[in-house]
Amino acid sequence: MSRIITQKAEENKQISERIKNFMKRFDVSSALKSSNAVKIKGFAVIEIFQYLFMLVFAHRSIYMDMKKDTVYRFLNSARINWLRFTTRLSAKIIEDAIAPLTSEQRENVLIIDDSFFERNRSKKVELLTKVFDHAKRNYIYGFRMLTLGWSDGNTIMPVNSILLSSENDKTVVNIPENPDKRTNAFKRRKLSRSKANDAMITLIKEAKAACIKASYVLFDSWFASPDSICKVRTLGYDIIAMIKKTPKLFYECNGKMMSICDIFKSNKKRRGRSKYLLSVDVKPYTQTPLLSPCRRCSSPKRAFSKHFHRRKPSDFTYRLFKDYLMRL
């Protein structure tokens, strides 16, 4: 009796072949091995990862084929460094698939941003905490998902991410007791309970260690403290960021310590249909030594932008720089 092959089975076969080609092209097995994902018993690590990867596209369940204990043992392994794995895999995809299609004249950037990861119905999720949702204007159980991405202006590629919890034990649910401090799982939990600015530096260091080429780091005003800007600058990246509009942060402008609002009020604005209103040299007031001065540029929408450069250019170079900054 001949076996009837359904359309669903044929589609799953095609999906499986494409996933195998993806794994082979970008050498996913080497990225798993470098992240301490090794076989302990049973199935090979690459087979388990390929199976989980296929479930997303085939809309299947782990209860249909492979035993769930095998999958849970792999996902709950305390030895695997998932932060390193996603960074290495992204670096390989950028190098082999995106970089050959990108002109050398384009500037590559790293983009850092956070979003709300809701788990409002969960009760036993580890390190669950209350996070303020700015859209709903109330506190909801969940995490802040801090994500680092790479972009060439046309394509954006996720590099790595971390779920941030709270440093306050009173607001955190299900704190693990007596964890093994030697494992990568403990390091990941410790990073999740650190400050967002410190976690941002860790994500950028991982991208730098994976040799992901970028000239600039872009982020919003939440991360634009003078200390964080100087730390990113010491890693070798220039910064373009929105500046916090607060009277508590001071910058040196024309030999005086002034806030952003005072700097904007005390300097003459450009008139007419200019792409920017104001551009002045400022220096952040911080204990971290600054490698170079910075230029503050205000767009017509009053968005305060900051950019660090290695040397002080001439006036003609500044005009080129301003147009270049507004294009970015």
73 and 26 both lie in a single domain: yes
192 to 76, 78, 127, 163: CA distances (angstroms)? 17, 15, 9, 6
Q: Are 34 and 84 in contact (CB under 8 A)?
A: yes
What's the rounded Cα separation, in Å, for the pair 236 and 248?
A: 27
Work out the percent of the chain whose per-residue pLDDT is above 70: 81
Domain check: are 236 and 302 in the same one?
yes
Number of structural domains (the chain) is 3
Q: Clarify whether residues 206 and 233 are in a common domain.
A: no
* Contact yes or no for 131/116 (Cβ under 8 A): yes
Q: End of a domain among 191, 214, 237? A: 214
Residue 183 covered by a domain: yes
- For residue 223, is it within any domain? no
CA distances 20 to 12, 24, 163, 197, Å, are 12, 6, 29, 38
Asked whether residue 85 is domain-assigned, the answer is: no
Write down the pLDDT at residue 326.
47
**Burial (CB count <10 Å: 0-12, 13-18, 19+), residue 162:** buried
The reply to whether 6 falls in a domain is yes
The pLDDT value given to residue 306: 40
| Chain centroid offset of residue 129 CA | 21
Q: Is residue 95 part of a domain?
A: no
Q: Are 109 and 206 in the same domain?
A: yes
- pLDDT tens for 167-194 read 888 888 888 888 888 888 899 999 999 9
Residue 260 forms part of a structural domain = yes
Residue ranges, the chain, pLDDT below 50? 1-2, 290-292, 300-321, 326
Same domain as 173, residue 250: no
- Domain containing residue 209: 102-214
Digit-coded pLDDT (tens) for 182-227? 888 899 999 999 999 999 999 999 999 999 999 999 998 888 888 8
Distance in angstroms (rounded) separating the CA atoms of residues 65 and 258: 65
- Determine the number of helices (DSSP H) and then strands (DSSP E) in the chain: 10, 12
